[in-house]
Structure 1
Amino acid sequence: METNHEVIQKQSPLFFKINSTVQQIIFVALILFCTTPYSSPPIALLLGLVVANLSGHPFLNLNHKATSILLQISVIGLGFGMNVNSALSAGKEGFLFTIASIFSTLILGTLLGKWFNIEKKTSHLISCGTAICGGSAIAAIAPVIKSDEKQTSVALGVIFILNSVALFLFPAVGHWLGLSQKEFGLWCAIAIHDTSSVVGAANKFGTEALQIATTVKLARALWIIPVALITAVIFKNKSSKIKIPYFIGLFILAMLLNTYVSKTAIVAPYLVSIAKIGLTLTLFLIGAGLNRSILKTVGIKPLFQGVLLWAFIAIASLTAIVYFN
């Protein structure tokens, strides 16, 4: 059975009509390039977007699963470059920001959805994706509200479009405003949706920003559980199981090993380097899954809701971090 993304890809008008073998060669060549020092997360994302719309994605049916697995492995690997004490400190500082931003975003998202007359489930998925951790939150909440493939795809489309913009925009704004590593790490962890784009943007800004952003973002991801429970009550659904992001536990284990097991230092730098390459590949695959037809299916109203929610959380969190932290 074909997924919605596969059907869309087949219907998508590409600039070049090429046979599948050439298509695969181009795709694999770009993947190999993304593993070299000449690539970076923003470049990889841009290359993915280009290949999606020029020659097409030859392995689209595997894209979502590969992206999810690769991101989780990469995040675990990054844990070997972090210290537990620093992580706890960052987590405490981001805790109040996290609570305030999550629930204010969910409330505002509900109001905007009603104002724009957006279908309720689509609106809620966009709000949850913006409030917590992008695609992961949508994947966890979708079965709870029993959304159909169209509703889920629209929400994911909105989130992935804005994630792509964030990867380029946030580091530029951070440098322009003269944000410190700590300030930028907190800001992008709160205001950027997906973990992949958070880590990509923070990595571009600096090492300290990367450590803070990754820790705060993963702590934020745990809020999927209470939000899913609240959602089940609101949508009156008691039967759906809630997906718990288990890889966060392995990330914590990696930090513990790096902090308290001295021999880990022998392999830790290599694992972190491999994890960063994995992150770059993840962003390439995310870009490769966004062709023009997917962008068209999103629609103006859901995209506008996503943009307004994103602007709210980005401006509010930045103001709080700069003036009240």
Structure 2
Amino acid sequence: MPGLLLSAAIAGAGFGLRQLPGLAVFSPMILAIVSGMAFHNLIGTPHRAKAGVTFSLRRVLRLAIVLLGLQLTAEQVVEVGARGLAVIALSLTGTFLFTVWMGRLLGVERKLTELIAAGTSICGASAVIATNTVTRAPDEDVAYAVACVTVFGSVAMFSYPLLPALLHLDAHDYGLWSGASIHEIAQVVAAAFQQGQQAGEFGTVAKLARVMLLAPVVITLGVLAARRARHGGHGHAGAKAPLPWFVLGFVALVGVNSIITIPADVRTMIVTATTFLLSMALAAMGLETDFAKLKAKGLRPLTLGLLAFLFIASFSLALVKLTT
């Protein structure tokens, strides 16, 4: 209970900090992990809070990802169209593979590379912590990956609205580009709506369709992890891929949301609750992150995050242009 209350309090602080001037552009999740890291490194996480912090980081996270399914419907995916889905899927796949390849060239640890790849190619911090359920990297790696996608997603959020006229993008194409390449959902919303209602709405739907691909990516990484365990001598011959039940729950709720119409006020409550639970998980992540260990990682992972960001921005833009 102490750890749960501490994680919840820091998550609440993340929501509160957004009311301050200049901080509204950041999601409560990002503010929560920053606050958690500050608390841990300046004050220290109490020993009696450890169990609750771990519970928030594991169980609360899984519940939040399941609830994310209620923010997407099959109809929204159809609205994106075959062209939009192709751009999103190719951008995601290309970015993930490029990041893994570049991580090897730069000498970045495989687990950290996979987290940066997932966060950049899918949906930011949510993808990082969901992917880590099968990657099982140290908490410092997760925090570093979240920091990377936050920094470069913020760069995209501020720079994209300056580019539509220069790149000759109409509202539809700009929305697709934003949804297919910017890291966090909140960052997509902030950037896309700068070009009007149509761009904002399509960018949001495109981003939610991209979030849908979180399920197959996590399952695939789980299968690959089990294969490495069997062939690398780190597990017994009968090792099986970790089955991420929470991802199946996510897909199931997408199905429920596609069949049942949820009232707008209830939907708003669900979205807020989901964001709060994700913020709790990231607050817990911050409470287990040591700045000294982050510093020891050096600049190579940050360079990897930058290259991944530049790749998804340019590659998805090229796809949008080529398919117009």
Using the size of structure 1 for normalisation, the TM-score is: 0.67
Give the Cα separation in 2 of the matches to 1:221 and 1:313.
20
1:213 aligns to 2:218 (yes or no) = no
Aligned length in residues? 282
Give the Cα separation in 1 of the matches to 2:15 and 2:214.
32
From 82, 86, 92, give the equivalent of 1:96.
86
- Equivalent position amino acid for 1:61 in 2: T
Distance change in 2, residues 1:43/1:131 (3 Å): closer
Partner of 2:209: helix, strand, or coil?
helix
Distance change in 2, residues 1:269/1:304 (3 Å): same
Give the Cα separation in 2 of the matches to 1:235 and 1:274.
42
Give the Cα separation in 2 of the matches to 1:232 and 1:137.
17
1:138 aligns to 2:107 (yes or no) = no
1:27 aligns to 2:13 (yes or no) = no
Give the Cα separation in 2 of the matches to 1:25 and 1:233.
37
| Residue of structure 2 equivalent to 1:115 | 105
Distance change in 2, residues 1:72/1:301 (3 Å): same
| Residue of structure 1 equivalent to 2:317 | 318
| Residue of structure 2 equivalent to 1:302 | 301
| Residue of structure 2 equivalent to 1:240 | 240
Using the size of structure 2 for normalisation, the TM-score is: 0.67
Q: How does 1:213-232 map to 2 (within 5 A)?
A: 213-219=207-213, 221-226=215-220, 228-229=222-223, 232=226
Distance change in 2, residues 1:200/1:166 (3 Å): farther
Q: CA deviation at 1:312?
A: 1.1
Q: CA deviation at 1:164?
A: 1.9
Q: CA deviation at 1:214?
A: 0.7
Q: For the Cα contact (< 8 Å) 1:190–1:317, is it kept in 2?
A: yes
- Equivalent position amino acid for 1:101 in 2: S
Q: CA deviation at 1:218?
A: 0.7
Give the Cα separation in 2 of the matches to 1:28 and 1:108.
34
| Residue of structure 1 equivalent to 2:234 | none
Give the Cα separation in 2 of the matches to 1:252 and 1:40.
32
Q: For the Cα contact (< 8 Å) 1:186–1:212, is it kept in 2?
A: yes
Q: For the Cα contact (< 8 Å) 2:115–2:145, is it kept in 1?
A: no
Give the Cα separation in 2 of the matches to 1:219 and 1:255.
16
Distance change in 2, residues 1:182/1:160 (3 Å): farther
| Residue of structure 2 equivalent to 1:12 | none
Write the deviation string for residues 203-254 of structure 1: whole angstroms up to 9, x where unpaired. 3333442223112321354243345445655675562324341112212320
Comparing 312-321 with 103-112, which one deviates more in the overlay? 103-112
Q: For the Cα contact (< 8 Å) 1:77–1:271, is it kept in 2?
A: no
Q: How does 1:33-44 map to 2 (within 5 A)?
A: 33=16, 42=26, 44=28
Give the Cα separation in 1 of the matches to 2:27 and 2:100.
35
- Equivalent position amino acid for 2:71 in 1: L
Q: What is the RMSD of the two structures over their aligned residues, measured on CA atoms?
A: 4.0
Distance change in 2, residues 1:183/1:163 (3 Å): farther
Partner of 2:306: helix, strand, or coil?
helix
| Residue of structure 1 equivalent to 2:197 | none
Write the deviation string for residues 57-100 of structure 1: whole angstroms up to 9, x where unpaired. 67633432334423432x23323xx5x43421316334323443
